Structure 1
């Protein structure tokens, strides 16, 4: 098994997202839309034809 030299980037991003607290409902909606957009783009990048 290899030793990990740097912190896991995925876990860093998750922690950063969890730290961000929306100020109001509009900001919360914007943050959710960004997450949805990233998820959608990831799905498009991994499609197999």
Structure 2
């Protein structure tokens, strides 16, 4: 298991390392792009401000 550097978020450091990779071939490039898209989609879901709670 890796340790986070002092004062840095371990999860965020892992994401930065993943995004900094360069692809070796087209298949790996597609996989890396899909990982980025998945992160963006999950981030959008996490920040969704639903207003469909007026029935409560």
Same fold (TM over 0.5): yes
Report the structure, 1 or 2, having the larger helix content. 1
Larger Rg: 2
CA RMSD of aligned residues (A): 1.7
Cα distance between partner residues in 2 of 1:7 and 1:48? 28
Aligned residues: 42
**TM-score, normalised relative to structure 1:** 0.65
* Structure 1 residues not aligned, in runs of 5+: none
**TM-score, normalised relative to structure 2:** 0.59
